[in-house]
Amino acid sequence: METFFAYRWLLGSLASVLLPLLGVAGTRWHWWPYTLGLLLVVAGLGLAVLLLPLLLWQRQWLSVLPPLLLILSLSPSVIRGLTLPAIHDISTDTTEPPPLTAAARLRAASDHPTDYAGTELARQQQAAWPTLAPLVLAEPPGQVRTRALALIAQRGWTLTADTSTDTATDSEQQLEAVVSSRLFGFRDDVAIRLTPVENESDSHTAIHTRVDMRSASRVGKSDLGANAERIRAFLVDLEQQ
């Protein structure tokens, strides 16, 4: 009888992990809507939270491991969801964000619109990520564009728009790309705007480049900080490249 109950505890323990795995796989491979996939993840996490103290009380040490690992792995996402604003469109320029021109053509009717939500969104972003700002590089836009394209390819993003094919031009340019998240395969849209700015020194006037970047999710209310982190990491790499 003791063995029978031990197996039942183990099955419940494994179910808490299998539910999120099924939710992720089904969403990534388009078996069902992403909302059902997220629901399965939440259900698995809830089951793990309920089971863990019971398993510890029953001293089912083998069965403790799956829900414990699940809780530990999902805790950072839960904390971000509780502490970060529920927004999904981030830009280094909240006054005049880079337009998501290609994304407007690619998004489905059920996806978020590409229009920027305005001052309230900007306020929430500023409160959560006050240091997120444009990057100014001591190079003309054409050279920065070449390096940005290399980073886009290196990251495996899909280029969807490029307003210039002339690497020598010093006019404003914009790149757009689609990014797929690693787990669920959610598609986010990225726009990178390169604006020439004059930098006057004692001897001459040089053309530098202001880099503005926008990253916006197609679905979901909160991105759990993914878009802000994507922008931050890309601009750091672009500056150090």
Name which of 7-21, 24-38, 63-77, 199-213 the model is least confident about.
199-213
Q: Can you read off the two tokens belonging to residue 40?
A: 């399965």
Q: Can you read off the two tokens belonging to residue 24?
A: 């992720």
Name the residue with tokens 């089971």.
51
Q: Superfamily for 89-240? A: Kinase associated domain 1, KA1 (3.30.310.80)
Q: Given this model, what pLDDT does residue 62 score?
A: 76
**How many angstroms separate the CA atoms of 241 and 235, rounded?**
10
Q: Hey, where are the domains in the chain?
A: 2-83, 89-240
pLDDT band at 58 (very low <50, low <70, confident <90, very high): confident
**How many angstroms separate the CA atoms of 188 and 181, rounded?**
8
What's the mean pLDDT in 127-153?
96
Highest mean pLDDT among 2-16, 112-126, 156-170, 187-201: 112-126
pTM for the full predicted model:
0.89
Task: Collapse the DSSP code of 216 into the 3-class scheme (helix H, G, I; strand E, B; otherwise coil) and give the result.
Answer: strand
In the predicted model, is pLDDT for residue 188 greater than 70? yes
Name which of 41-50, 152-161, 165-174 the model is least confident about.
165-174
Burial class (CB in 10 A: 0-12, 13-18, 19+), 95: exposed
User: Tell me: the pLDDT tens digits for 196-219?
Assistant: 998 766 566 678 999 999 999 999
Q: Given this model, what pLDDT does residue 1 score?
A: 46
Q: Given this model, what pLDDT does residue 198 score?
A: 84
